[in-house]
Amino acid sequence: MRVVAAVDKYKGTATGAQVAAAVGHACWELGHDCAEVPVADGGEGTLEALGGPNRTSTVTGPLGSPIEAEWRLQRNVAVIEMARASGLALIGGAEHNDAIAATTAGTGELIDLALGAGAKKIIVCLGGSATTDGGLGAVRAISAPHRLRGVELLVACDVTTVFVDAARVFAPQKGATPAQVRMLTGRLERIAQMYTSEFGVDVTAIAGGGAAGGLAGALAALGGQLLPGFDLVADEVDLDDALTTADLIITGEGYLDAQSFDGKVVGKVQELARSLGTPVGAVVGDADPAVARRIANVSLVAMFGIDRAMNEPLWCIERAAARLISELAPAV
């Protein structure tokens, strides 16, 4: 058989490339060919799925301190994962955040570096942000924003929240109090007016403009195209081409739940598999019983227990994949 491993990361445990390699080794042991195609939904982990970082730059962190942010530039294509420069995890979570002061300046600095290095396409992956600054920090950090009109600027965006609702919807998760949410909403309204005045773009009318605290809207004002994260990644890694010749598709992620079928990797790969009439299954760290029957799957926790699944994830993934492939083979 020809198997395609189109898998997401196991957050905090294994990268998509590591998961795909484990599935590939299982295929090799069973005598099958395997195409390893790590994918992502446009948030954290997308940089790894698109080849991994090959540059590190010192930029402004979400609360103003300098940080080392990894990014990628190859063949005039830059990939920037905003969580690496402006992410909530960089400051230890919401309890350590300053929801008013948090800035996207570091992300803008990476975009500026990409422009300076001659990038013709810039992919910005949103998700995991500490910020609700309407992207103003990023805009101000780009020395010549008009230069973005001359490049292809693609923005991975998986929400439909509009710009002025970014504070109400997302800021509480970033440590904002109710009073701060009101203050941030007023600031977003003023920033939106500024973008209309400076760039001639009404960011309040853009679905998804509120992603990453309004960074999506800011990038749209600079000429960026907002795209569903999975679709953007799938296009960049030529996933459709890989799947068309597959006899069996294996996908996977750390935790299978209802969100897995709402624009995330497992659900989107399942949709593609169904459209091709190709059997598909998922190797997952664990699964919510409420959705476990929506896709054939093997859970590492169910098969090996939580301790081994956490301590030896790749060994467990390889064996779980071998089991799943053997179970699904008769359907091929």
Work out whether strand 77-81 and strand 66-74 pair parallel, antiparallel, or are unpaired.
antiparallel
Q: With CA atoms as reference, report the closest residue to 206 among 167, 160, 157.
A: 160
The pLDDT tens digits for 160-196 are 899 999 999 999 999 999 999 999 999 999 999 999 9
CA–CA gap between residue 26 and residue 43 (Å, rounded)? 28
For residues 226 and 220, the answer to whether their CB atoms sit within 8 Å is yes
pLDDT value of position 294? 97
pLDDT value of position 130? 97
SS3 content of the chain, % helix, strand, coil (to 5): 50, 20, 30
Q: What is the DSSP string of 195-248?
A: HHHHHS--GGGSTTTTHHHHHHHHHHHTT-EEE-HHHHHHHHTTHHHHHHT-SE
CA–CA gap between residue 190 and residue 187 (Å, rounded)? 5
Q: Mean pLDDT over all residues of the chain?
A: 96
CA–CA gap between residue 83 and residue 130 (Å, rounded)? 8
For residues 233 and 43, the answer to whether their CB atoms sit within 8 Å is no
CA–CA gap between residue 315 and residue 324 (Å, rounded)? 14
For residues 283 and 248, the answer to whether their CB atoms sit within 8 Å is no
For residues 71 and 114, the answer to whether their CB atoms sit within 8 Å is yes
pLDDT value of position 159? 86
The pLDDT tens digits for 30-56 are 999 999 999 999 888 899 999 999 999
- Supply the CATH classification number for the domain 46-230: 3.90.1510.10
Question: What's this model's pTM, rounded to 2 decimal places?
Answer: 0.90
Here the tokens at position 313 are: 């994830």
| Sequence ranges of the chain with CATH classification 3.90.1510.10 | 46-230
DSSP collapsed to 3 states, 72-92: EEECCEEEEECHHHHEHHHHC
Beta-bridge mates of residue 283: 252, 298
331 pLDDT more than 80: no
pLDDT value of position 44? 82
Mean pLDDT of 127-140: 96
330 pLDDT more than 80: no
The pLDDT tens digits for 227-257 are 999 999 999 999 999 999 999 999 999 999 9
CATH architecture for the domain at 2-39+243-331: 3-Layer(aba) Sandwich (3.40)
CA–CA gap between residue 43 and residue 124 (Å, rounded)? 9
211 pLDDT more than 80: yes
CA–CA gap between residue 199 and residue 159 (Å, rounded)? 23
Residue 234, amino acid: A
| Sequence ranges of the chain with CATH classification 3.40.50.10350 | 2-39+243-331
Round to the nearest angstrom and report the end-to-end CA distance of the chain: 8
